[in-house]
């Protein structure tokens, strides 16, 4: 170096000292992915545990017929409004509301089996397809005609036509609605589904319905699976029929959500590519349903043991859905519900009335007698209808 010359500037990275500083700090991605979400996720797990325990309380189970999914939403909303979660809990709550909830929808595929759905017979499937499609189209159109914005109308339509809160969660993963748009349809479904549990057995007795006809009507027109089962059990023990018919409605969830994804892309609402052409959780939904139908597809042994399927349906799927729904509840304030207004009640009631009338009329014509008897001990572990009377 020449005398009098200015020494070169010190390098920004000073070797071992900077390496030690970097090593002493956890990577940003690691903290963001694993550390930050943990408190919020633990909160959603705690709320889910409370809801799952509460659903077995005799009064709640036998009289209110509130399932864990409804209870977890209610607890989450109350928590949000009485004791708002701190900011550090938000990352985990958002992960529960989005990613975990989608896994819950995917796992619903294990509830489906080709053999179980086929056991109700083609006439019952016709009732399900026509009734569900008509209720979906009507609520979508009527909701917009009554002033609901499109995403809310879509969630009202899908939730009331297919399977309640689970269907709303699946559709919301596609349309990405506002918080109040998710909770308002769930409240409507809870109200009218609970009324259905009380009214349907009375009408079944008054009209002298057979077990099979009544079970098809319950499964084809009540919102939540728990509601259809409760109403079915209250008259002629038709809950076995109602359960399988309800599963046939759940099978329509994937094609309808695929259509929603295609429709939104075509409409141009996903300028930033937020809507996948084929949502991954719906692909898994179909894959799980096919895996669960292995014996119906010609295999001598099921790919997944019946015990594993039972564990997934009775425990794993319930927990995953509850954690996701807890995230939804914890993101919803009373102000959000107030903004939705009373119009969702009108739309929901008219949709339920239409679906109930269509299902009853078609079932009265097509489902006077049950399908031929099938085995009651399928190797895939699903309930198959015997021969209802």
DSSP letters, 237-291, are: TTHHHHHHHHHHHHTTHHHHHHHHHHHHHHHT--TTS-S-SS-HHHHHHHHHHHH
Q: Does residue 8 lie in a domain region?
A: no
Of the candidates 250, 230, 203, 171, the one whose C-alpha atom is nearest the C-alpha of residue 363 is 203
Q: Is residue 242 within 8 Å of 388, Cβ to Cβ?
A: no
Phi, psi of 380 (to 5 degrees): -85, 0
Could you tell me the sign of the dihedral formed by the alpha carbons of 269, 271, 275, 277, in that order? positive
Low-confidence ranges of the chain (pLDDT < 50): 1-3, 10-24, 26, 270-273, 374-384, 387-389
In angstroms and rounded to an integer, the radius of gyration of the C-alpha atoms of the chain is 25
In a domain, 2, yes or no: no
What local confidence, expressed as pLDDT, does residue 375 receive? 40
Question: What is the predicted pLDDT for the residue at 374?
Answer: 43
Any domain includes 91: yes
In a domain, 150, yes or no: yes
Structural domain range at position 129: 41-55+67-366
The closest alpha carbon to 50, from 319, 299, 358, 386, belongs to 319
Q: Is 36 part of any domain?
A: no
Nearest to 196 by CA among 355, 337, 74, 325: 355
Q: What distances in angstroms separate CA 188 from CA 167, 233, 305, 346, one per listed residue?
A: 14, 23, 38, 9
d(CA 195, CA 65): 11
Half-sphere exposure of residue 140, counting CA atoms within 13 Å on the CB side?
A: 13
Can you give the pLDDT at residue 30?
57
CB within 8 Å of 97: residues ≥ 6 apart: 324, 327, 328, 330, 331
Task: Answer yes or no: is 98 within a domain.
Answer: yes
Please tell me the distance from the alpha carbon of residue 241 to that of residue 108, in angstroms, as a whole number: 19
User: What's the confidence (pLDDT) of residue 377?
Assistant: 38
* pLDDT on residue 216: 96
Q: Is residue 347 part of a domain?
A: yes
Tally of domains in the chain? 1
Residue 203 located in a structural domain: yes
The closest alpha carbon to 339, from 116, 178, 156, 193, belongs to 178
pLDDT for 27 equals: 52
């Amino acid at each position: 170096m020449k005398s009098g010359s200015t020494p070169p500037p010190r390098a920004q990275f000073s070797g071992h000292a900077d390496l030690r500083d970097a090593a002493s700090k956890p990577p940003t991605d690691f903290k963001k992915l694993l550390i930050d979400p943990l408190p919020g996720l633990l909160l959603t797990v705690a709320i889910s545990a409370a809801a799952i325990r509460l659903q077995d309380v005799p009064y709640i189970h036998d009289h209110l017929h509130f399932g864990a999914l409804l209870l977890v939403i209610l607890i989450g909303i109350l928590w949000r409004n009485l004791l708002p979660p701190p900011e550090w809990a938000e990352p985990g709550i958002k992960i529960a509301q989005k990613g975990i909830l989608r896994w819950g929808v995917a796992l619903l595929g294990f509830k489906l089996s080709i053999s179980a759905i086929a056991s109700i017979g083609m006439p019952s499937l016709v009732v399900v397809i026509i009734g569900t499609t008509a209720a979906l189209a009507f609520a979508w159109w009527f909701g917009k005609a009554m002033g609901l914005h499109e995403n809310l109308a879509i969630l009202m339509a899908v939730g009331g036509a297919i399977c309640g809160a689970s269907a709303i969660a699946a559709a919301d993963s596609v349309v990405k609605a506002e918080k109040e748009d998710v909770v308002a349809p769930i409240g409507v479904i809870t109200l009218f589904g609970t009324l259905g549990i009380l009214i349907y057995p009375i009408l079944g007795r008054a009209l002298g319905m057979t077990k099979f006809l009544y079970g098809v009507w319950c499964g084809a027109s009540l919102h939540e699976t728990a509601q259809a089962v409760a109403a079915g059990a209250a008259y002629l023990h038709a809950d076995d029929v109602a359960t399988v018919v309800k599963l046939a409605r759940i099978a329509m969830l994937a094609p309808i959500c695929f259509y929603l994804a295609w429709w939104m892309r075509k409409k141009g609402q996903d300028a930033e590519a937020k809507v996948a052409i084929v949502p991954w959780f719906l692909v898994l939904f179909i894959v799980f349903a096919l895996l669960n139908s292995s014996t119906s597809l010609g295999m001598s042994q099921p790919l997944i043991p019946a015990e594993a399927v039972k564990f997934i349906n009775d425990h794993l799927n319930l927990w995953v859905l509850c954690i996701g729904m807890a995230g939804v509840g914890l993101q919803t304030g009373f102000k959000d519900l107030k903004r939705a207004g009373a119009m969702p009640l009108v739309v929901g009631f008219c949709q339920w009335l239409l679906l109930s009338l269509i299902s009853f009329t078609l079932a009265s014509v097509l489902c006077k007698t049950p399908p031929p008897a099938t085995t009651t001990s399928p190797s895939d572990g699903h309930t198959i209808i015997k021969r209802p009377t």
